[in-house]
Amino acid sequence: MSLTVALAILGGLVLAAIVGYNAWMSRRNAPRQPDALPDEPVAAPTGPRNDREPVLHQDAAAAGTERHEPLFDPDLPAPSASPLASTDRRGGLDPLIDVIAPISLEGLVSGDAAIAAMPATRRAGSKPVAIEGLNEHTGGWELPAPGQRYGAFQVGVQLANRTGALNEIEYSEFVVKAQAFADAINGAPEFPEMLDEVARGRELDQFAGAHDAQLGFVLRALHAAWSPGYVQQTAARLGFVQGMIPGRMVLPASEAGLPPILGLSFDTQAALADDPAQSAIRELTLSLDVPQVERGERPFGRMREIAQALAKEMDGTVTDGDGQPLREETMDAIGADLEQLYDTLDTRDLSAGSPLARRLFS
């Protein structure tokens, strides 16, 4: 065999080795894909990226979590169906977090008339406004409903939420809307003193700002990246379901209709890619909005357990927002701080996950 042929063969072997190595590296570094099971269709998860430090954030505006609307949505159209039973209703006006203006009547007013008199949007600035009637038959306060009659009404506006405290302009807008409603039903409203209520709003806002907590753990890939489908399939095994926003999944509460216990999110662009299977995700954020979730759900304990389970299953590590691994003692300290926070909220009748807390921290 000539030298030329030998060199050609050697060159071919080297080239084949290089091609094989590159192919192996390509497969090794490609985003992990979900297991394609016939009875387990895989879809890309949904949600915004959310990088937060795993500490008790006191600045809600900087935390960036999705906002939970108050339990009475001021922008929904007036009800047109039969009223909900009192046991099915949550929340309602409460002097602890609402300005309440009673409206006296000369006689009974039908629910249909009250609904027709409702303002088009029930919001004063950034604060929700609610109208409740005293049902003639049940003797309870409820949202006006067709076919019912009411002997009195009350209009309320929330003193504070995560946008800040009720201010003078918002209070004035509330008065205008409440007065227009009262005039339409021939009622006489009685408004509390504006300066006193605005001062109450500021005090409540200061308390809420000092006791708001939103936590985030970052799960980072150690080696191969993850595809959206792989993330969705792995998280689904731990109870997560797809959220309404691309790139977000949520762990539902034990009771339907309540805010999710935890959120799991990654870059929205990865979920919206033309070929999500080729999207390379290298980090996820596991988040907890503390005041929105009941203490009995063990939200932080489950957050730790899920973070550790995801890290083990997905070959990742749990870190803070700066990429520093989270040690067990750090998580223990956060858990102890949370217990103190829960106790403080309980003493103010604003227990985490309660209707009032969900409205205030929204």
3-state SS, the chain, equals: CCHHHHHHHHHHHHHHHHHHHHHHHHHHHCCECCCCECCECCCCCECCCCCCCCCCCCCHHHHCCCCCCCCCCCCCCCCCCCCCCCCCCCCCCCCCCEEEEEEEEEEEEEHHHHHHHCCCCCEECCEEEEEEEEECCCCCEECCCCCCEEEEEEEEEECEECCEECCHHHHHHHHHHHHHHHHHCCEEECCCCHHHHHHHHHHHHHHHHHCCCEEEEEEEECCCCECHHHHHHHHHCCCCEECCCCEEEEECCCCCCCCCCEEEECCHHHHCCCCHHHCCECEEEEEEEHHHCCHHHCHHHHHHHHHHHHHHHHCEEEECCCCCECCHHHHHHHHHHHHHHHHHHHHCCCCCCCHHHHHHCC
Band (pLDDT 50/70/90 cuts) for residue 273 is confident
Band (pLDDT 50/70/90 cuts) for residue 85 is very low
Residue 155 pLDDT more than 80?
A: yes
**Is the pTM value of this prediction over 0.85?**
no
Residue 80 pLDDT more than 80?
A: no
- Kindly report, residue by residue over 292-302, the tens digit of the pLDDT: 999 999 999 99
Band (pLDDT 50/70/90 cuts) for residue 38 is very low
Residue 72 pLDDT more than 60?
A: no
Asked which of 73-77, 233-237, 255-259 is least confident by mean pLDDT, the reply is 73-77
> What domains, with CATH codes, occur in the chain?
98-207 (3.30.1400.10), 211-360 (3.30.1400.10)
Share of the chain above pLDDT 90, in %: 69
Residue 235 pLDDT more than 90?
A: yes
Band (pLDDT 50/70/90 cuts) for residue 268 is confident
Share of the chain above pLDDT 70, in %: 75
